[in-house]
Amino acid sequence: MKNSLMFGLILGAVFSCQPPTESTESSQAQPKPLNFVIIFCDDLGYGDLSSFGNPVIQTPNLDHMALGGQKWTQFYVADPVCTPSRSALMTGRYPIRTGMTSKKRAVLFPDSGSGLSPDEITIAEVLKQKDYATAHIGKWHLGHLPQFLPTSQGFDSYYGIPYSNDMNAEQGYGKIYHEQRTTLDFYPDFEKYQVPLMENDQIVEQPADQNSITKRYTQRAVQYIKDNQDNPFFLYLAHSMPHIPLFASQEFRGTSKRSLYGDVIQEIDWSVGEILRTLRILDLDEHTIVMFSSDNGPWLSFETHGGSAGPLRAGKGTTFEGGQRVPTIFWGPSNVEPGLVNELGSTLDIINTFAALAETNVPNDRKMDGYDLSPVLKGDAASPRKDFFYWAFAELHAVRSGPWKLHVQQREPVHYGNIAEMEGPELYHLEADISEKYDVYDVQPEVVGKLESLMANHLEDVKGSTPDQLELRISK
């Protein structure tokens, strides 16, 4: 308690002040603070859930969550690969501002000596101002060295594989896996990947037995909710799946018509069901908001071992819609007005949204890129987000404003494949043309001009807030 109070005082210096509380409120019973749960998948595509149109993968728990909550159809991650995307979720800042992106390396690797700067303020640190208990379970991928781990970034505890589950592969096994990408009955060997399973800052298992990883993350998450039922908590559950290599518990193997990939998604769906059920049993459902999403689009070059972007163009590693638009659901009986939200939102907005719902503040000493979506969750207002900038590999590729998307460049990402070439800038009306099929650049010069100036202004805006050692932070 003493530590968290001191922590709050230190953090208080960089947060704006709360508006004064009405004196009449102080005598009334305070409503119970909301709990927050983020369930984040790795490389889950826009078209991988039955509620988002998948015809063969069965996700009844997520369907139920979408039906009783809000299904967001135009929700974006700030970058189409893991590390930068996750940094934006945690901080509400484009990765170019935090140095969690690079032209040289897409993401952090086991030989990386860096990670998310401890000077950045995470969602967990924002909620600590209100004495929330905080836990991260699953994939972190913002630095595996002690000073960058969740336990150094506002989380009370950590349990999980700290980076991608395909790292530390035995020589040649990555290639073998890739060669098996169309083999429906291929099942990988977890011992070929020397990835660690960590508890706080200690390795407790290596190689991590990934066969049971989804199940074990889930058991931990359920136990955490039970242990914290009497106090406000923030649980960030980031599944290592369905990033390749794919693993599912024995009881889920062979359950899906969509081969191993479908089995993996159906186990994640089971996991969601366990969490929602636990919240209901403990009467926490009316005091908790659960968000479900993905860190980037499907890894299409792994073919049947990768996911589907549904109607969207391309996938992971690209700034086409398939790379950055992710299936997103918010759920919270009494706190989230059920419905379909066909408006813009982003993982960049979560820190502002949770801060508002927890009646606390985000940092005011740095540029933030998020909006408070809480009025949308409550059904009171349209989304305040009208623009979105598509960054990848420390380059600005595209901008969206309202329904329009101007795409000025694309980089062929190594190992991501299946990229449609761009011959020049392209303009799409995404509401009329979700698949980015009909380029109207030549016939909409006024729209192009408006979007070009948005990009120019944004580039000017980030200039002053980019770390000097941008390449160093994510590189070796």
Catalytic residue ranges: 82, 141
Amino acid at 282: L
Least gap, CB of 239 to Mg ion (angstroms): 10
Footprint on this chain of Mg ion (rule: CB under 5 A): 42-43, 82, 295-296
Contact assessment for residue 466 and residue 92, using Cβ atoms and an 8 Å cutoff: no
DSSP code of 435?
T
**Got the DSSP string for 12-60?**
HTTBPPPPPPPHHHHTSPPPPPPEEEEEEESS--TTSSGGGT-SS---H
Sign of CA dihedral 96, 98, 99, 100: negative
DSSP run (H or E) holding 200: none
Q: How far is the CB of 352 from Mg ion (least distance, A)?
A: 23
- β-strand partners of 428: 405
The first and second tokens of residue 444, run together, are 């909409």
Q: Give the nearest distance from C-beta 94 to Mg ion in angstroms.
A: 17
In terms of residues, how long is the chain?
476
Q: Helix, strand, coil % (nearest 5) of the chain?
A: 35, 15, 50
CB of 220 to Mg ion, least distance (A): 21
Q: Rounded to the nearest whole angstrom, what is the least distance from the CB of residue 295 to Mg ion in the complex?
A: 4
- State the minimum distance, in angstroms, from the CB of residue 240 to Mg ion: 10
b/e code 325-362 from CB counts within 10 Å (16+ = b): bbbbbbbbbebbeeeebebbbbbbbbbbbbbbbbebbb
Task: Please say which residue, 165 or 353, places its beta carbon nearer to Mg ion.
Answer: 165
CB-closest chain residue to Mg ion: 82
Please give the Cα distance from 133 to 127 (Å, whole number).
8
Nearer to Mg ion, 82 or 448 (CB): 82
Kindly report the number of other CB atoms within 10 A of residue 62's CB atom: 28
Nearer to Mg ion, 43 or 156 (CB): 43
Residue owning tokens 């991988």: 48
If you compute the radius of gyration of the chain from its CA atoms, what whole number of angstroms results? 21
